[in-house]
Amino acid sequence: MTGPLFRVIGLWGRQTGWLFFGLVMSLAALIAGVGLMTVSGLTIGAAILAGSLAVPAILRGFGASRVVLRYLERLVTHGATFRALADMRVWFFGRLAGTSAGGLGFRQAGDVLSRLVGDIEALDGLYLRILLPLAGAVLLLPVLVLLIGHWSPALGTEVGALFVAAAFVLPWLAARASGSAGSGLAKEAGALRVAALDALTGLREVRAFAAEGRMIAAVQAKEAALLSAQQTMASRTAMAGAASFLCAQIAVLAVLIDAGTRPAVAIAAAFLVIAAFEAIGGLPRAGALAGHASAAAKRVLEAADAPVPVPDPADPVAMPTGTTLRFEGVEFRWQTDRPAVFDGLTLEVPQGARVALLGPSGAGKSTLAALALKVVAPRSGQIRLGGVDIATLPAALVRARIGWLGQTTHLFDDTIRANLLLARPDADEAALWAALDAARIGDMVRALPDRLDTWVGEGGTRFSGGQGRRLALARALLSPAPVLILDEPCAGLDAETERSFLETLNDTAAGRTVILITHRLTGVEKLDRIFRLSGGRAVAAAG
C-alpha cells in the first residue's frame, strides 16, 4: 500500500523547500502548544499550592508563539500542499497527453476526470493529515517518556506505550483494515463520475427518447454504491478515532491516579499528556484514510504509466525538406484480437497534390490519418514523409509538418483568439485575421462586439455548426504545416453549408498538400487524385 504513496511524495520534488518549511513550522507550533499546556499546568499547580496565580513570562511567550506559529503553519503547509497537487495535476496531464495523442482512445472521459480531479484531491491529506502528524508523533514520544519518566519511570513507560498505540499501532491497523474499502471508494467515485458525465453529454438523446428516468436510476445506483463505500470507510474511521480517544483518556487517568503528594507536577503531566495526545488524535483516522489515498495514488499512477503508443526514436534523423507522403506495405490493427484495418496498404500523396480518400465507415480512413500523425504505428511496413521513415522522426516534428482537421474538431470554452492560437502560439493579430478571412468567417467575427475576444462557449455552442467548422478551418490554416489532412470535415453539415465549405477550401489551401478523407464527393472539390479504401488497401478511382 505504501509504494504508490512514496512515489507520489517523490513527484513533489519541486516543492521540497516549501514542504520542509511547512514541516518546521508544524513542529515549532507543536512545541509551542505542548510547552504552553505544560507550563500552564505547572503554573496552575503552583498557584494552588501558593494560593495565588501569577502568569510567568514564559507562559506569555508560549501563548503568543503558538498563535503566530499555528497561523504560519496553516499558511505554509496548505500553500505547499496546493502547489504540490498543482504540480501533480500538470504532471498527470502531461503523461496523459503523451499516451493519448489521438484522444482518450479506449479510456472513459469520466474515469479520466475522476483520476485527474477526485483521486489527486484525495492525496491532499497525505502531507497534512499523515506526514506532518507522524513527524510530530516522532518528536513528542521521547519528550513525553523522558519528562513523565523523570517524575515516575513506570508511569512514563505506561504513557509512552499508550502513545505508541495511538500514534503508530492504531493508524497502521486502520490502514490495513481500510485498504480494500479505500479501493472500493475510489472505484465507486470514478463510476459515479462516468455515469453522471455520460448522462450529461448525452442529454439531448436522453430527452429525445424520454429516458430521463432510466438515466437518473443508473446514476442513483452508482450514487448508492458510493454511499455504501463511504459508510464503510466512515465506520472504520470512527472505530480508529474511538480507540485513539480511549488511549488518551487512559493515559490521563493513569497520571491522575499516580498524582500522590505532588499535585503541581501531576497537573503539569496531565496537561502535557492531553496536549500530546491531542496533537496525534487525527492519526488513527488518517490511517483509515490512507487506504483511500493509496488507492487514489495507484489509480493516478496506473493512468499516467500507460505506455506511449509511439515512442520517439532514441537517435532521430534530420527533418526532410520534401513533403511527399507515402505508405509502403502498411499493416495495422487496433488490437491483436481485432481484424486488420490495413493489410499491405501502399499509397503515395505527392507534394502539393490534392487527394481524396473515399470509403465507407470502418474502411480505415481515420486510421490512415492517425498513422500519418504518429498517433499509432504500423505493425509492419513504413510511412515516409519526404522520403524519410517517420518512425525515425520525433512526433512533434511530424505534427509540425502535417496539420489536421477532424470531423469532431473541438472548440475550447475560451475566446476565438485563444482557440486560433492553439495552432500557432506566436501568431500576431494580422495572421489571425488572415486565417479567418481565408476561412470566410472574418466578416462575421468583425461584426461581433468583442471580435477576437468573443467567448466561443463550450464546444463552440455560441456558433452554428457551419460557423464552428469554419473557425476550426481557420485554426488549421493558421498552422504553417505544408500537409493538411481533412478527416470528414463536413460531417453533420447540411448540403448547402458543405458545398460552401469545400469551395472555401479550394481557394484557401493553395500550395499545400491536401488529403481529403470523406465517404462521398459533392462535385465541387478540386482534386488531383482519388483513392478508394477497400479490404485494407487503396485503389485508384476515376477522377
> Which is higher by pLDDT, 491 or 29?
29
Q: Which amino acid is at 302?
A: E
Instruction: Report the C-alpha gap between 45 and 524 in whole angstroms.
Output: 98
pLDDT at position 2 is 67
pLDDT at position 261 is 56
Instruction: Report the C-alpha gap between 189 and 229 in whole angstroms.
Output: 9
Lowest mean pLDDT among 71-75, 143-147, 156-160, 408-412: 408-412
* Contact present, 420 and 411 (Cβ < 8 Å): no
Q: 10 Å Cβ neighbour count for 48?
A: 13
* Distance from chain centroid for Cα 501: 37
Task: State mean pLDDT over 362-377.
Answer: 80
For the chain, the straight-line distance linking the first and the last C-alpha, in angstroms and rounded, comes to: 63
Instruction: Report the C-alpha gap between 420 and 470 in whole angstroms.
Output: 11
Q: 10 Å Cβ neighbour count for 249?
A: 14
Of 496, 487, 540, give the one whose Cα is nearest residue 522.
496
> Which is higher by pLDDT, 453 or 113?
453
pLDDT at position 106 is 47
Q: 10 Å Cβ neighbour count for 195?
A: 18
pLDDT at position 438 is 78
pLDDT at position 182 is 64
The three grid cell numbers given for residue 532, joined into one nine-digit string:
478508394
Lowest mean pLDDT among 124-128, 180-184, 205-209, 501-505: 180-184
* Contact present, 193 and 156 (Cβ < 8 Å): no
Task: State mean pLDDT over 52-68.
Answer: 67
Of 166, 158, 190, 15, give the one whose Cα is nearest residue 91.
15
**Mean pLDDT value across the chain:** 78
Which of 85-99, 136-150, 175-189, 311-325 holds the top average pLDDT?
Answer: 136-150
Instruction: Report the C-alpha gap between 508 and 437 in whole angstroms.
Output: 9
Q: How many CA atoms lie within 13 A of 164 on its CB side?
A: 8
Residues contacting residue 488 through CB under 8 Å, at least 6 positions apart: 365, 366, 406, 407, 517, 518, 519
Q: Which residue has the cell 460531417?
A: 491
Residues contacting residue 331 through CB under 8 Å, at least 6 positions apart: 340, 342, 343, 344, 345, 378, 379, 380, 381
**pTM, whole model, 2 decimals?**
0.65
Q: Above pLDDT 90, what percent of the chain?
A: 0
Task: State mean pLDDT over 136-165.
Answer: 86
Torsions phi, psi for 383 (to 5 deg): -120, 120
pLDDT at position 492 is 61
- Which SS3 state, helix, strand or coil, does residue 174 take? helix
Of 201, 540, 497, give the one whose Cα is nearest residue 358.
540
* Alpha-carbon Rg for the chain in angstroms: 33
Q: Above pLDDT 70, what percent of the chain?
A: 83
Burial 386-413 (b: 16+ CB within 10 A, else e): bebebbebbbebbbebbbbbbbebebee
Instruction: Report the C-alpha gap between 297 and 293 in whole angstroms.
Output: 6
Q: Is pLDDT of 491 > 70?
A: no
Q: 10 Å Cβ neighbour count for 178?
A: 28
**Helix 170-177 vs helix 179-201: crossing angle, to nearest 10:** 50
Instruction: Report the C-alpha gap between 131 and 27 in whole angstroms.
Output: 12
SS3 of 259-301: CCCCHHHHHHHHHHHHHHHHHCCCHHHHHHHHHHHHHHHHHHH
For residue 516, the cross-strand partners are 356, 486
SS3 of 482-498: CEEEEECCCCCCCHHHH
> Which is higher by pLDDT, 77 or 237?
77
Q: Tens digits of per-residue pLDDT, 94-115? A: 777 766 655 545 455 556 666 7
Instruction: Report the C-alpha gap between 348 and 330 in whole angstroms.
Output: 12
Q: Which residue has the cell 427518447?
A: 209
- CA 361, 362, 365: angle at the middle one, nearest 5? 85
Instruction: Report the C-alpha gap between 14 and 85 in whole angstroms.
Output: 11
Q: Is pLDDT of 65 > 80?
A: no
Instruction: Report the C-alpha gap between 33 and 40 in whole angstroms.
Output: 10
pLDDT at position 533 is 79
Q: What is the DSSP string of 514-531?
A: EEEEES---S----SEEE
Q: Is pLDDT of 259 > 70?
A: no
Instruction: Report the C-alpha gap between 145 and 135 in whole angstroms.
Output: 16
pLDDT at position 331 is 87
Instruction: Report the C-alpha gap between 265 and 525 in whole angstroms.
Output: 95
Task: State mean pLDDT over 53-64.
Answer: 64
Q: 10 Å Cβ neighbour count for 153?
A: 11
Task: State mean pLDDT over 410-416.
Answer: 82
Q: Which domains does the chain have, with CATH numbers?
A: 2-304 (1.20.1560.10), 325-540 (3.40.50.300)
Of 415, 413, 474, 465, give the one whose Cα is nearest residue 443.
474
Q: Is pLDDT of 165 > 50?
A: yes
